[in-house]
Amino acid sequence: MADRPETISASGSSPPPIKERGAAPQWLMPVIAWQAVLGVAALLGAVLVAAGTLWDLSGLAKWIVAALLLVIAFAAALGVRDLLAGKHRGRAIGIILNYLVVVVSGFAALQNMGVFRGLDALGDNFFNVAWVLVIVAVGWVLATQAERFGGLESKVRLAGRVVAGVGVAWILLGVGLLPGLLEFVVRLVELDVLVPMLVAVAAGVAFWLLRKDEAGFYFKTSRDQAEALDGFLFASPNVIGFLAFFAGPLLFSLYVSFTSWDGLTELQWVGVDNYARIFGLQFTSIDTGQLAADVLKDGYTELMRVGDFIIGARDRLFWVGLRNIVVFGLFAVPLAVMPALALAALLNQKLPGVKFFRAVYFIPSVAGVVGIALIWKQLYNATVGFINYGIVRLWDLINLLPGADFEPPQPEWLSNSRVALFSVVIVFAWQTIGFNTVLYLAGMQGIDSSLYEAASIDGAGKWQTFRKITIPMLRPTTLFVVATTTILALQLFNEPYILFQPQQQPSGPNNATLTPVVQLYQEGFQRFNQGFASALAWVLFAIIFAITIFYFRRQSEDEVGA
């Protein structure tokens, strides 16, 4: 008889050597029956969802949920077959499936019970009794330092425990935990809570049974299989969080971009109309006879006829925002990169206090953007701001010269449409230089010192060394710095939003600081055009993705050339 492959228990310990699989555990058939019930329930749920009789779903969301339920039903059926055959795959499917059922059903039960709202209420009430923590701390100190009181040690320790216990009880009563527990018990018997809770408990029991060492021995789980299963379980919180809070909303926003939705009413499918509107296009059927009313209204002009459709176009806000962000990037990226390179070269020298200056230049990058923008907003004030005050004092000094009589300029930094965008450029560059300086400094310290020694022997000066060695060796760092700075510039929102609110819209005077993200915010959260805002987000994503690919390809070409 061939040797049996090494098996391993869920805890990682090797089982005692056995030649034959023992009898099936007594709990195996109930677990298989439970998994069959899950499969049937998922299949029935898919049918009901597709028919529109289960949950209030419509459109693409209905078919996505139905497809997910069908996948669960298929996985459950496959797991039942493999469990009956004694295969490890059946055990793995059962563990994963029941684990997911525990998470989903448990969350549904807690949500229907109102536990999460209750936790918010407990948190609000906690601030009213937070001072009682001082009493708990006093009791804890007395209990832990009782030996310092000599013969009174036991009494002091008891007194400390009593004081700490009274403080904890006081806090629990103050936050309303006891009424909350009573409400928890009362709601537990409600049908919409009891059913998902029982499902979670049953799935939890099945999960625990399949994870037992006995199951590992019976299904001949190898060490590699056990490690893979444990790895999935350890990574599952992050994976589930990614799917629930990132991938799921991302796909939902893609679907919303093809609909007309205000965030409150039912979604209405409009196809590519949102994307056509972004680029200033409008499609109108010739057969309607409404060319003048539909296409030419609001400044539209006829572009061409395609089959039974008229394509009209006009300048749209998206192009204004795109123009602004291109101009912003052309000024902001060089101002955030080139000074950072110069500062890094200076800070890379062995000068007194250089560590202090490294920290000083990095402070704007770690400071809160809200605080920074508020400070700059005050500096930009046209009447009492320090920038205009400094300009006036400078002109006063110039006017002291014989024959000089100049009127000092008073730029309206935030209210002049010709200056507003460059005001944001200054704030963005000032905040970004510190981080880019650190990146360049790290790149410079990674350059082989032998190159500089060879250049010094050949008689190269500092400027020649910097131009011929430092800059070429920093090319990968420069590509990374320029790419990240460009992506940050394309996502510009925080600075204009804080600088111009509440006196003006974040789009600035005459849309001077309108950017794609600012337009996205205005459409989605001020005008409640969630569909159009989602389409804007995906267009911006496509632009950023294309630029990122471009930089990556440039970096790959440089590495191949090197």
| 13 pLDDT more than 70 | no
For 511, how many CA atoms within 13 A lie in the half-sphere containing its CB? Answer: 15
Q: What is the DSSP string of 411-444?
A: --TTT-TTTHHHHHHHHHHHHHHHHHHHHHHHHH
- Distance, in Å, from the CA atom of 436 to the CA atom of 429, rounded to the nearest integer, reads 10
What band does 59 get if pLDDT is binned at 50, 70 and 90?
low
Categorize the per-residue pLDDT at 75 as very low, low, confident or very high, splitting at 50, 70 and 90.
very high
The arithmetic mean of pLDDT across residues 379-402, rounded, is: 83
The sign one gets for the Cα dihedral 190, 195, 201, 202 is positive
Query: Is the pLDDT score of 558 beyond 70?
Result: no
Tell which wins on pLDDT, 308 or 173.
173
The 3-state secondary structure of 369-408 reads: HHHHHHHHHHHCCCCCCHHHHHHHHHHHHHCCCCCCCCCC
Say what the pLDDT of residue 11 is.
Answer: 45
Quote the tokens at residue 29.
């058939």
Region 421-438: what's the mean pLDDT?
91
| Residues ≥6 apart with Cβ < 8 Å to 265 | none
Residues in the chain, total: 562
What is the DSSP secondary-structure string of 444-489? HHTS-HHHHHHHHHTT--HHHHIIIIIHHHTHHHHHHHHHHHHHHH
Cis preceding linkage at 502, omega within 30: yes
Pair 312, 301: CB distance under 8 Å: yes
Say which residue the tokens 């701390």 belong to.
137
CA 57/CA 133 separation, integer angstroms = 48
High-pLDDT (> 90) share of the chain, %: 19
Phi, psi of 285 (to 5 degrees): -70, 135
496 has pLDDT over 70: yes
Looking at per-residue pLDDT, the higher value among 390 and 350 belongs to 390
Residue 437 CA to residue 448 CA, distance in Å, equals: 19
pLDDT attached to residue 31: 92
Q: Kindly indicate the confidence band of residue 143, based on its pLDDT and cuts at 50, 70 and 90.
A: confident
Residues 142/165, Cβ–Cβ less than 8 Å: no
What pLDDT was estimated at residue 302? 47
Is residue 561 scored above 90 in pLDDT?
A: no
Higher model confidence: residue 540 or residue 385?
A: 540
| Beta bridge pairs of residue 311 | 283, 304
Minimal CA–CA distance to 161: which of 138, 184, 179, 182? 138
- In 3D, which of 466, 516, 261 has the Cα closest to residue 345? 466
More confident position, 43 or 348: 43
Q: Round to whole Å and give the CA distance between 362 and 469.
A: 26
Nearest partner of 518 among 375, 416, 380, 421, judged by Cα: 421
Mean pLDDT of 118-128: 72
Tokens of 97: 């499936």
| Cα distances (Å, whole numbers) of residue 518 to 370, 498, 512, 513, 540 | 16, 12, 11, 8, 12
Using an 8 Å Cβ cutoff, are 398 and 355 in contact? Answer: no
Do 423 and 417 form a contact (C-beta atoms < 8 A)?
no
In the predicted structure, residue 286 carries a pLDDT above the cut 70: no
Name which residue leads in pLDDT, 430 or 297.
430
Report d(CA 515, CA 421) in Å as an integer: 10
Mean pLDDT across the chain, nearest whole number?
A: 81
Residue with tokens 């002109």: 395
Residue type, 508: G
Which tens digit of pLDDT belongs to each residue from 211-244?
Answer: 988 888 889 888 888 888 888 889 988 888 888 8
